[in-house]
């Protein structure tokens, strides 16, 4: 707590005392059982990461493990390797040859299984075809596809020949796509006619045609036929995937890549403003994600692992494609939405394939809470043994629901904090060791140095989350904008990486993410975090999801406006609003009592499912809306704007 006259970056209000140790059975079989790993790695983090890197296949060993000239880090300098060689060839040469790499399910219910050998075969052909078409090491390729196996095939093919890819999430508009193509100047775009979503189709080729009006330098569009829908065709530029791949040979040697060569470029989700093109490289990246994927998900040979993210986000890059494949895992991949044809689709998939590890997002969990338990309860979820979350802080109530209803009180939950920029998970439980506390991402992964500081860089109980030492999968820059790189991440607090997130640390050294620094509210001189007020709101039995913002107030500086969605089974009334306000005051203090409660059918979210509080601030202040290109559904904000104006 801040002392009188001293403002700390944030105050901590919420006390969550519940603790969940892993079960004896889980501990017995766990990959990582001894907490000494933290001490060992902490003693010499470079040696720790070198040990992890040695599990990969290198074409040439590195000379120097880390070269650190703030803010630029180079990992495994002088080493050479190829990511597709590590993800495919290595397994195809051994006992994993015919193991399932992907178990894929399309939204209409069609399904395909691709073994490591199948994937290797497709990737070779496609990579060879790209190479014959003139795509060379260093040439950027844009990929705009639905969640079908050809998406990872295209990524791995690019990686095989050393062409950095830029995957653009298939939900983005033509404008967002053309912005991203223009930013990296890729001459090749890989797409499909369409993709299935919520019973309809998404017109990906049509969107691509629209985007390319502003990108005349694009010479080739490779189109996979997924839906068979009607599309326009530009001769000379457009080519069908099935024709294109035939021009490739059965094998192409993986390009030896420098550890520091670019693997891909990926734009952040844009919760706070204009998305940034984040650069990730080869050796350190693969090391970081492979080690974290193996240890955090306690990966075993017979696991059926399912990460429900879209590959268009970093979670999909690191923990659907590269991490699981490098580890020789079997992954489930699903094309569509969780409510098609019914709200039990995820649980049907878990039951059908015997999923053992499920990795999803708080936004999805809160939606499942709103829909009700009847959907998971009608499926057999007994195969599950470990659960994970990523993307936003998870409210303790949602965590406990996930643990009880989905995990049936026996699966540990790993709440993993990381960013597009960090490439790999950085703050997380290790499921066989960590006693979880709902709402806390717990501790930095071994070999990761994190702290909570004030503006001067001094450690405090609640403040800015920073990273003090380099980690292997860290970003190497913002594409085409070195100044923004320095300003955004390396200038706020001297000498350390600034995450932009607030956090507090408790008496056990656990980290609790408090939301974004930009979203922190200032109520009568107290710096209040969005996460804590939202968690207190979600703690009320009627509330499924909440977003709070500070709006200008004459006396207090800011007043709290709370936008809430309530559970399907509850009716929205005025007395309920007062009850909700009182609940927050009781849970975390009168200071945090919302001035307004606004019922919302939906909250404005990014395409990746994160709440966009900056748009809610615009609504509450009656301003024009800021950048909305990454907004999932514009109707949601329009609706709230109307409601807000009507109420005034
Ligand atoms: P932009 O940087 O353009 O605003 P973004 O930050 O939403 O976009 P991502 O890189 O996808 O883009 O998201 C990373 C952010 O997500 C983190 O900085 C943090 O705010 C939030 N986050 C991710 N995982 C967790 C978690 N387990 N707990 C709390 N917050 C999380
Ligand atoms: Mg961010």
Query: Averaged over 262-280, what is the pLDDT?
Result: 89
Bond from prior residue into 134 cis (ω within 30 degrees of 0): no
3-state per-residue secondary structure call for 265-279: EEECCCCCCCCCEEE
Nearest to 558 by CA among 488, 640, 617: 617
Residue 224, pLDDT > 50, answer: yes
Q: Which of 176, 271, 439 to mutate to test the pocket of ligand 1 (most atoms within 8 A of CB)?
A: 271
Q: Specify the residue for token string 């597709």.
A: 84
pLDDT at position 5 is: 40
Query: Averaged over 478-502, what is the pLDDT?
Result: 95
Report pTM. 0.97
Query: Averaged over 380-392, what is the pLDDT?
Result: 98
Residue 96, pLDDT > 60, answer: yes
pLDDT at position 1 is: 39
Q: What atom of ligand 1 comes closest to residue 315's alpha carbon?
A: 11
- What would the pLDDT profile of 23-70 be if each residue is shown by its tens digit? 999 999 999 999 999 999 999 999 999 999 999 999 999 999 999 999
Ligand 1 centroid to Cα of residue 418, in Å, is 7
Look at 429-438, 505-514, 632-641 and tell me which has the smallest mean pLDDT.
632-641
Paired tokens of 258: 């420098």
- Closest CA to ligand 1's atom 18: 419
pLDDT at position 8 is: 75
Give bridge partners of residue 387 from the DSSP assignment: 358, 413
Q: What atom of ligand 1 comes closest to residue 630's alpha carbon?
A: 3
Give the whole-number percent of the chain exceeding pLDDT 70: 99
pLDDT at position 2 is: 39
Query: Averaged over 153-159, what is the pLDDT?
Result: 99
Q: What atom of ligand 1 comes closest to residue 270's alpha carbon?
A: 3
Q: Which ligand is nearest to the CA of 499?
A: 1
Q: Specify the residue for token string 């709902």.
A: 438
pLDDT at position 165 is: 98
Cβ atoms of 304 and 332 within 8 Å: the answer is yes
Query: Averaged over 486-496, what is the pLDDT?
Result: 95
What is the pLDDT confidence band of residue 234, given thresholds at 50, 70 and 90? very high
What is the pLDDT confidence band of residue 646, given thresholds at 50, 70 and 90? confident
Residue 318, pLDDT > 60, answer: yes
Cβ atoms of 398 and 387 within 8 Å: the answer is no
- What would the pLDDT profile of 191-218 be if each residue is shown by its tens digit? 999 999 999 999 999 999 999 999 999 9
Query: Averaged over 476-495, what is the pLDDT?
Result: 95
Query: Averaged over 336-343, what is the pLDDT?
Result: 97
What is the pLDDT confidence band of residue 581, given thresholds at 50, 70 and 90? very high
As a whole number, the mean pLDDT across the chain is: 96
pLDDT at position 210 is: 98
Ligand 2 centroid to Cα of residue 486, in Å, is 15
Nearest to 473 by CA among 168, 275, 174, 263: 263
More confident residue, 335 or 14: 335
Query: Averaged over 168-179, what is the pLDDT?
Result: 94
Residue 631, Cα to own-chain centre: how many angstroms? 16
Query: Averaged over 240-245, what is the pLDDT?
Result: 98
pLDDT at position 381 is: 98
Ligand 1 centroid to Cα of residue 604, in Å, is 16
- Using CB distances shorter than 6 Å, the residues near ligand 1 are 268-272, 275, 390-393, 415-420, 441, 499-501, 513, 516, 608, 610
Give me Rg for the CA atoms of the chain. Answer: 24
CA of 453: how far to CAs of 2, 393, 493, 502, in Å? 13, 19, 9, 9
- What would the pLDDT profile of 611-629 be if each residue is shown by its tens digit? 999 999 999 999 999 888 8
pLDDT at position 7 is: 60
- What would the pLDDT profile of 68-85 be if each residue is shown by its tens digit? 999 999 999 999 999 999
Query: Averaged over 114-141, what is the pLDDT?
Result: 98
Q: Which of 176, 359, 392, 396 to mutate to test the pocket of ligand 1 (most atoms within 8 A of CB)?
A: 392
Ligand 1 centroid to Cα of residue 637, in Å, is 21
Sign of CA dihedral 115, 120, 123, 125: negative
Instruction: Specify whether domain 524-647 bears CATH 3.30.300.30.
Output: yes
């Amino acid at each position: 707590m801040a002392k009188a006259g001293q403002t700390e970056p944030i105050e901590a209000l919420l006390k969550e005392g519940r603790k969940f140790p892993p079960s004896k059975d889980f501990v017995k079989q766990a990959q990582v059982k001894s907490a000494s790993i933290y001490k060992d790695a902490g003693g010499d983090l470079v040696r720790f990461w070198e040990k992890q890197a040695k599990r990969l296949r290198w074409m040439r060993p590195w000379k120097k493990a880390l070269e650190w000239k703030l803010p630029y880090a180079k990992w495994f300098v002088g080493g050479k390797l190829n990511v597709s060689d590590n993800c495919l060839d290595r397994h195809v040469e051994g006992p994993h040859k015919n193991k399932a790499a992907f178990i894929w399910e399309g939204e209409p219910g069609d399904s395909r299984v691709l073994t490591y050998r199948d994937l290797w075969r497709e990737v070779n052909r496609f990579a060879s075809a790209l190479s014959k078409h003139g795509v060379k090491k260093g040439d950027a390729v844009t990929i705009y596809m639905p969640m079908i196996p050809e998406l990872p095939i295209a990524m791995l093919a690019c990686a095989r020949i050393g062409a950095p890819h830029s995957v653009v999430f298939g939900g983005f508009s033509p404008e967002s796509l053309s912005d991203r193509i223009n930013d990296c100047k890729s001459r090749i775009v890989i797409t499909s006619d369409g993709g299935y979503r919520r019973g309809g189709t998404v017109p990906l080729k049509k969107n691509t045609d629209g985007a390319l009006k502003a990108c005349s330098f694009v010479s080739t569009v490779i189109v996979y036929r997924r839906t068979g829908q009607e599309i326009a065709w530009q001769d000379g530029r457009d080519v069908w995937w099935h024709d294109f791949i035939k021009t490739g040979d059965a094998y192409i040697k993986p390009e030896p890549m420098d550890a520091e060569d670019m693997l891909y470029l990926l734009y952040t989700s844009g919760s706070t403003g204009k998305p940034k093109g984040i650069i990730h490289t080869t050796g350190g990246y693969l090391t970081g994600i492979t080690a974290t994927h193996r240890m955090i998900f306690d990966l075993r040979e017979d696991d059926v692992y399912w990460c429900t993210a879209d590959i268009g986000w970093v979670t999909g890059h690191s923990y659907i494609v590269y991490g699981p494949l490098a580890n020789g895992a079997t992954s489930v991949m699903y094309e569509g939405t969780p409510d098609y044809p019914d709200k039990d689709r995820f649980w049907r998939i878990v039951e059908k394939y015997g999923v053992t590890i499920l990795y999803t997002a708080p936004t999805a969990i809160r939606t499942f809470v709103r829909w009700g338990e009847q959907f998971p309860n009608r499926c057999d979820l007994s195969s599950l043994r470990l659960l994970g979350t990523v993307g936003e802080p998870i409210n303790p109530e949602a965590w406990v629901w996930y643990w009880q209803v989905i995990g049936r009180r026996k699966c540990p939950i790993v709440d993993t904090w990381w960013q597009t920029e960090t490439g790999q998970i950085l703050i997380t439980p290790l499921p066989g060791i960590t006693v979880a506390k709902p709402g806390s991402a717990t501790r930095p992964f071994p070999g990761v140095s994190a702290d909570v500081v004030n503006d001067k860089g001094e450690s405090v109980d609640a403040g800015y989350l920073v990273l003090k030492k380099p980690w292997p999968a860290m970003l190497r820059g913002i594409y085409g904008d070195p100044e923004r790189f320095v300003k955004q991440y390396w200038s706020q607090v001297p000498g350390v990486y600034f995450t932009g997130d607030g956090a507090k640390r408790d008496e056990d050294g656990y980290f609790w993410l408090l939301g974004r620094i930009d979203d922190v509210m200032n109520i009568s001189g107290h710096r209040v975090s969005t996460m804590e007020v939202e968690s207190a709101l979600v703690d009320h039995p009627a509330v499924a999801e909440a977003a709070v913002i500070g709006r200008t107030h004459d006396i207090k500086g800011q007043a709290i406006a709370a936008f809430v969605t309530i559970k399907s089974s509850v009716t929205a009334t005025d007395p309920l609003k007062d009850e909700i306000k009182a609940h927050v005051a009781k849970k975390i203090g009168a200071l945090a009592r919302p001035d307004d409660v606004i019922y919302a059918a939906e909250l404005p979210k990014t395409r990746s499912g994160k709440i966009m509080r900056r748009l809610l601030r615009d609504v509450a202040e009656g301003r024009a809306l800021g950048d909305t290109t990454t907004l999932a559904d514009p109707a949601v904000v329009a609706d709230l704007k109307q409601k807000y104006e009507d109420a005034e």
